Amino acid sequence: MSRTFVGMPPFPTAARAALADTQLRANLAHATTTIRAKRAAVVAELDDWEALRLRAAAIKDDVLLHLDEHLVRLEESLTARGAVVHWARTAEEASEVVAQVARAHGVDEVVKVKSMATQEVELNEHLAAQGISAWETDLAELIVQLGDDLPSHILVPAIHRNRAEIRAIFEREMARVGRPAPADLTDDPVRLAEAARLHLREKFLRAKVGVSGANFAVADSGTLVVVESEGNGRMCLTLPEVLVSVVGIEKVVPTWTELDVFLTLLPRSSTGERMNPYTSTWSGVTPGDGPQEVHVVLLDNGRTRALADEVGRQALRCIRCSACLNVCPVYERTGGHAYGSVYPGPIGAILNPLLKGVGHDEQTDSLPYASSLCGACFEACPVRIDIPSVLVDLRAQVVDAHRSGVPKPEALAMRAAAAAFGSGGRLAAAEQASGLAGRALDALSSLTRRGRRAGGRRLVGRLPGPGAAWTDARDLPVPPRESFRAWWKRTDGGTR
Amino acid sequence: MRVALMVTCLNDAMFPDAGKAVVTLLRRLGVDVEFPAAQTCCGQPMVNTGYLDEAVPVVRSFVRAFEGYDAVVTPSGSCAGSARHQHSIVARRSGDPGLATAVAEISPRVHELSEFLVDVLGVEDVGASFPHAVTYHPTCHSLRMLGVGDRPERLLRAVRGLRLLDLPRAEECCGFGGTFALKNADTSVAMGADKARHVRESGAEVLVAGDSSCLMHIGGLLTRQRAGVRVMHLAEVLASTEGATRAGAAR
Ligand code: SF4
């Protein structure tokens, strides 16, 4: 019923396919440029933004340092308020808890609030295998689900789709799973939203079990918090009789005081709004109001592995705002699918390897390299995750994981470079060789009719072999006849 | 003050004119810059590709070359960033406390060219003349790793005859990214193509930046597109006295 990311190719291969899709690139460039400007405007309004970021990072670091205590406190508070707490080590365990609850109530469908954690554990697929339909109720998530597609953005999973495509999906698919799209549907966003509203309404009113994630979990009061824009979340959290929430263990905050900082940072970073339209909070069961059976699944699924990583653990500060995706020049061009995970973009490039560990599969190992290390993500991140530094550290982990095997050409090249760069003398010798190669290339290119120059230097045209990765699209000047080092020596620093 | 030039491996082997320009410029400003011949590379290509063990001998040779200097100046934001922010990682990996101490001592003395001119020498008008329409690309590591801010633009504005034109989406990465340019060549080129388009839109004849690596990438795209825009290192523009009149070429 819905696709998964299993078996995705490594990033460079997936990116090549995405780059060739001009419609996708246009959709993404438009969407990310718009949201970037909105975010920049509302962030600039606050003169203590940097102080808030520092505060948020410090709060999260402190929570992570004492995670065990906070989680036990959260469990106590939740239990005292009538919720049932489940601990899940793996994706399967978490999904199975939800399935059990659904089975216990004899339902064959649940309604869902958009949630990264349930995407991560592939809950929908797990439920589908047991004959239980999980209906996504967030507009963008609905578009992805109906289109039998994969999410490509944390906040806007259907960011790769434009209006016309969405209309086509609605017209084609809605009737299959419920109320059909109106016969006179247009590309107008208002009409599209109305179609989704009508389609979803019957599901909200019918469902006995709701499933959600949580943006935050307040340990002190046993309160879960969901932040959303459409109100579909509010419906899922209040209408069904039973509610199951899958919550990553890093979502805990000590008290409402800390929550305040994040509720300021999140909407501005994420949708570029001062405040999000709906913030729902619930603490266990409130007799006679809302779901009367409340379950909370606390999910590890690699988080304790990430926590053990000295450099990488800062990734657990992430509040899934997606600001890093929106400012990322790589994401803007490749889109989210190329990352092969529900967590795409810069945060995905570090979180997936941290949760899964490196050295096992090529796809995960390719992610830390899916960045030019430009640092735009770090600059935008509201909890100051130094993504470039984590990427560089993960690259070292990837290389180290393969040190015992047969060395790749790249590893051999790095060793040779290390030897040459270990001494100025050896480097001078190597440069003399490149100078010679340069003269040869120079002579060659002067023989060809198409020999071109830039700034007095001859240009290398297309090179064969590994050099093609550069020269397929870019010229390269031929090496100069004399290195700087040789010039300095010959002229005594330009004085002779 | 003993000042060393860290020319960078790329400038040394591929773009010696950028290094020569730094020498010309600094001498004009009264700085007797030295070139320690023991220098090789800052180790960034290894570190950023994940080869930390391979970076250890490189950082050792860096430390040997630049020990004892009051300031190390380099025409590269990226290599200055590597020395200031990554050498400590390599030293830790080596497990050699002596290397860690040496790195801690030298790293803070490494300055990117515009930082050295504005912060250490305290000059913005370096007595240059360059009568051309220029646009400036702030390279990511100089902008976000070092935080050079508008120092390069301030230096460029003081150049006689130079017309500084806005570069659309200037702060966006050009897509070079070291080995990223090869490992993810398609994405790198897609980013570079947009940068090259913005350079053409700026209407400049010359694109200036503080990193030869990024210029090699953007310049490689511009010439392949026969865009007619030249690329020049910031040092070369600041060293230039092109078209200076006797009266105008004031120091
Ligand atoms: S890493 Fe930072 S910017 Fe990216 S989604 Fe997480 S909190 Fe937001």
DSSP per position, B170-230: TTS--S-TTTHHHHTHHHHHHHHHHHHHHHHHHT-SEEEES-HHHHHHHHHHHHHTT---E
Q: Sorting pLDDT into bands at 50, 70 and 90, what band is A200?
A: very high
Q: Looking at residue A333, what DSSP letter applies? A: H
Query: For a substitution probing ligand 1, which of A325, A347, A377, A384 has the most ligand atoms within 8 Å of its CB?
Result: A347
- pLDDT at position A303 is 98
Is-contact A107 A209, C-beta < 8 A? Answer: yes
pLDDT at A417: 85
Of all protein residues, whose CA lies closest to atom 8 belonging to ligand 1?
Answer: A321
State which of A319, A352, A386 you would mutate to test the pocket of ligand 1, scoring each by most atoms of that ligand within 8 A of its C-beta.
A319
Residue A496's pLDDT is 85
Interchain CB distance below 8 Å, B191 and A370: no
pLDDT confidence band for A416 (50 / 70 / 90):
confident
pLDDT digits (tens, 9 = 90+) for A321-331: 999 999 999 99
Tokens encoding A397: 């982990």
Contact, A228 vs A113, CB < 8 A? yes
Nearest-10 crossing angle of helices B52-66, A409-421: 20
Question: What pLDDT is recorded for position A267?
Answer: 97
CA distance A436 to A479: 9
pLDDT greater at residue A442 or residue A154: A154
Least confident of A71-75, A448-452, B93-97, B230-234: A448-452
User: For A145-191, how does the pLDDT look when each residue is reduced to its tens digit (9 = 90+)?
Assistant: 999 999 999 888 888 888 999 999 999 999 999 999 999 999 999 99
pLDDT at A407: 83
Task: Give helix A22-44 / helix A11-19 axis angle, nearest 10°.
Answer: 100
What's the predicted TM-score (pTM) here?
Answer: 0.94
Instruction: State the pLDDT at residue A135.
Output: 97
Q: What mean pLDDT do residues A406-423 have? A: 85
pLDDT attached to residue B250: 45
Residue range A102-123: average pLDDT?
97
Tens digit of each residue's pLDDT (9 = 90 or more) over A297-313 = 999 999 999 999 999 99
Residue A114 gets the label, from left (phi > 0), alpha (psi -120 to 50) or beta, of beta
pLDDT score of B48 more than 60: yes
Q: In chain A, how long is the greatest CA-to-CA distance?
A: 93
Q: Is the pLDDT of residue B249 over 50?
A: no
Reported as a single tens digit per residue, the pLDDT across B125-147 is 999 999 999 999 999 999 999 99
Nearest chain B residue to A338, by CA: B187
Average pLDDT over residues A230-259: 97
Interatomic CA distance for residues B250 and B245, integer angstroms = 9
Q: List the B33-34 sheet strands across, edge first.
A: B33-34, B3-5, B71-74, B110-112
CB-based contacts of A397-403 (< 8 A; 24+ apart in sequence): A397/A353, A397/A358, A397/A359, A397/A368, A397/B50, A398/A353, A398/A358, A398/A359, A398/A365, A398/A368, A398/A369, A398/B50, A399/B49, A399/B50, A399/B51, A399/B52, A400/B50, A400/B52, A401/A358, A401/A359, A401/A365, A402/A359
Calculate how far, in angstroms, residue A346's C-alpha sits from the geometric centre of ligand 1: 8
pLDDT of residue A459: 83
Contact B185 A484 (CB under 8 A): no
Q: Residue B67 has what pLDDT? A: 96
Q: Measure B101 CA to nearest chain A CA, in Å.
A: 19
The answer to whether residue A423 scores a pLDDT higher than 80 is yes
Supply A320's token pair.
Answer: 């899934």
Q: What angle do CA B78, B83, B88 make, to 5 degrees?
A: 135
Instruction: Return the DSSP state at B77.
Output: H
* Confidence (pLDDT) at A443: 60
Domains of chain B with bracketed CATH = 3-120 (no CATH), 133-244 (3.40.50)
| Mean pLDDT of all residues in B98-119 | 98
Work out the average pLDDT over A283-294.
97
A489, with CB counted inside 10 A (0-12, 13-18, 19+), is: middle
Pocket flag, ligand 1, residue A328 (CB < 6 Å) = no
pLDDT of residue A440: 64
Closest C-alpha among A255, A261, A274, A271 to residue A51: A261
Is residue A141 over pLDDT 50?
A: yes
Tokens of A116: 């990264």
pLDDT score recorded for residue A472: 87
Q: What is the pLDDT of residues A236-248, one digit of tens each?
A: 999 999 999 999 9
Q: Which residue has the higher pLDDT, B100 or A417?
A: B100
- The answer to whether the CB of A120 falls within 8 A of the CB of A301 is yes
The Cα–Cα gap between A320 and A192 comes to 26
Output the residue whose Cα is nearest ligand 1's atom 4. Answer: A324
- Give pLDDT, residue A7: 82
pLDDT of residue A489: 96
> Which of A124-128, A369-373, B223-227 comes out lowest in average pLDDT?
B223-227
Residue-wise DSSP of A210-245: EEE--SEEETTTTEEEEEESSSHHHHHHHSSSEEEE
Pairing of strands A476-477, B163-165: unpaired
Looking at ligand 1, which atom is closest to the CA of residue A325?
4
What is the mean predicted confidence (pLDDT) over A485-493?
96
User: A102: CA distance to ligand 1 center in Å?
Assistant: 32
How far, in Å, is the centroid of ligand 1 from the Cα of A435?
A: 46
- Of B183, B217, B219, which is closest to A369 when you measure between CB atoms? B183
pLDDT at residue A444 tops 80: no
ipTM above 0.90, yes or no: yes
pLDDT averaged over every residue in chain A: 93
pLDDT of residue A377: 98
Residue B251 has pLDDT above 80, yes or no: no
Instruction: State in Å: Cα B83 to ligand 1 middle.
Output: 27
Q: Least CA distance to A436: which residue of chain B?
A: B13
pLDDT at A468: 85
In sequence order, what are the residues at sequence separation of 6 or more whose Cβ sits closer than 8 angstroms to the Cβ of residue B209?
B136, B137, B138, B139, B215, B218, B231, B233, B234
Mean pLDDT of B104-124: 98
Q: Reduced to 3 states, what is the DSSP secondary structure of residue A311?
A: coil
Mean pLDDT of B169-198: 96
Choose, out of B5, B33, B213, B224, the residue to mutate when testing the contact with A (most A CBs < 10 Å). Answer: B224
Q: Number of Cβ pairs closer than 8 Å across A and B?
A: 213
Report the first-to-last Cα separation within chain A, whole angstroms: 77
